[in-house]
Amino acid sequence: MEKRQINPWTWQDRAGYSQAWRVDGADAVIFLAGQGSISAEGELVGDGDFEAQARKTFENIATVLEAAGASVESIVKLNVYLTDIAMLREYGRVRAEFISGPPPAGTAVQVAALALPGMMLEVEAVAVL
């Protein structure tokens, strides 16, 4: 499989953003449902603490990908839903701790509420093998 970052402009490099990824020769595509800061018991982790919630969310993404035979390096697309768009930079900082190198293509959207009271973000992912 070959993954190639597509950035026809330069501004996105300063923003830690990728316009697209071209994937040739993938054997599998994994579509992750929205992941949040939910414990194995189904309870919210990090109530009121955005960084704790973002970390747990990416830990959950890594767990689901591992169960599917992949890793965070396999991610080519992320959609993040935030209850406060002002937290986008903080999200990007935490994301970069879990996903090194050029970032996946991404979309960020502010929403009024998420699945559980107190949830501050939810992240969907697409990964390729």
Q: What backbone torsions phi and psi does residue 34 show, to the nearest 5 degrees? A: -55, 130
pLDDT of residue 87: 98
Using pLDDT thresholds of 50, 70 and 90, give the confidence band for residue 15: confident
pLDDT at 12 over 90: no
pLDDT at 13 over 90: no
pLDDT of residue 59: 98
Using pLDDT thresholds of 50, 70 and 90, give the confidence band for residue 66: very high
The SS3 of residue 18 is: strand
pLDDT, averaged across the chain: 96
* Rounded average pLDDT over 37-59: 97
How far is residue 32 from each of residues 6, 18, 96, measured CA to CA in Å? 22, 19, 19
Q: What is d(CA 116, CA 56) in angstroms, rounded to the nearest whole number? A: 15
Beta carbons of 74 and 30 less than 8 angstroms apart: yes
pLDDT of residue 61: 98
pLDDT at 14 over 90: no
Using pLDDT thresholds of 50, 70 and 90, give the confidence band for residue 49: very high
